[in-house]
Amino acid sequence: MIRSLYTAATGMDAQQTQMDTIANNLANANTTGFKKVRANFEDLLSETVRSPGEANPQGGGAPSIPLQVGLGVRTASTTRSFSIGDPISTGNPMDLAIGGTGFFKVMRANGEVAYTRAGNFNLDSEGRLVAGGGELVEPSITVPKTATSFTVTADGTVTATLPNQVNPQNLGRIELATFVNPAGLMATGGNLFNETSASGAPTLCNPGEQGTGQIMQGQLETSNVKAVEEMVAMISTQRSYELNSKVIQTADQILQKLTTLR
């Protein structure tokens, strides 16, 4: 009976983790480029009361099948879905969306490289293209202060129109990175991801190559969180939590009966 108390407790803990994950997804339903997360669970080691092949204590002589009792569940991992969110038009030429699986490469102030799907870029005091948190876009793109327009083509080529010039000035090209296993990237906040051994090393290429997707100027990628799906998952999680708490209540009632036997 004590075993069932601890088993149900692991179930409640697992469902709490699931609820925390759902809450984070819903909190970021309007975060540019956010990718939803799903919790994965696995069963704990089962207690073996009788091993397979062990003689049946009831007789008969035939090898017995195993007798095992599960001891609960634990959170094994979290998986981030990198399905592409819907693009929305903003009309801001600094806003860029990726139509494929690529990532923008940026550099933090400490020189550390990071990757992001959020293309809500701006210009810093020196005219350099930077991400929302001030991270420099790599390769560096510097827009002249006198530029009257800023254009990014589908293949990442950046140009600007300057006063008294007929032809636009080429400012460089935005590169995109792809990973063998993007689910292995480490989220570090600020819509940024770090490379890990699980994700593999990034492959840099021009937009539109190797499935990276083309650049869409004046648009942003919305979060891939679907509120209806998260609400359904929330209801399921709540019911599972209630059932595990009911197991604890029932086990407590049985123990109470046992302690009153005379």
Encode pLDDT of 64-99 as tens digits.
Answer: 677 788 889 999 999 999 999 999 999 899 999 999
Task: For the chain, count helices (H), then strands (E).
Answer: 2, 20
Residue 205 shares a structural domain with residue 99 = yes
Residue 215 shares a structural domain with residue 97 = yes
Angle at 40 between CA 34 and CA 46, to 5 degrees: 170
Q: What is the pLDDT of residue 67?
A: 79
**Chain-centre distance for alpha carbon 57:** 51
Residue 146 shares a structural domain with residue 203 = yes
Rg for the chain, CA atoms, rounded: 27
Residue ranges making up the domain that contains 94: 87-221
Tally of structural domains, the chain: 2
Q: What is the pLDDT of residue 3?
A: 85
Residue 241 shares a structural domain with residue 209 = no
Residue 109 shares a structural domain with residue 181 = yes
Residue 129 shares a structural domain with residue 106 = yes
Residue 98 shares a structural domain with residue 203 = yes
Q: What is the pLDDT of residues 181-220, one digit of tens each?
A: 999 999 999 999 999 999 999 999 999 998 899 999 999 9
Residue 156 shares a structural domain with residue 245 = no
Q: What is the DSSP string of 173-235?
A: E--EEE-S-GGGPEEEETTEEE--TTT---EEE-TTSTT---EEETEEEPP---HHHHHHHHH
Q: CA-CA distance, 166 to 222, in Å (whole number)? A: 36
Residue 25 shares a structural domain with residue 72 = yes
Residue 214 shares a structural domain with residue 107 = yes
Residue 125 shares a structural domain with residue 140 = yes
| Predicted structure pTM score | 0.85
Q: What is the pLDDT of residues 15-60, one digit of tens each?
A: 999 999 999 999 999 999 999 999 999 998 887 777 776 666 666 5
Residue 96 shares a structural domain with residue 178 = yes
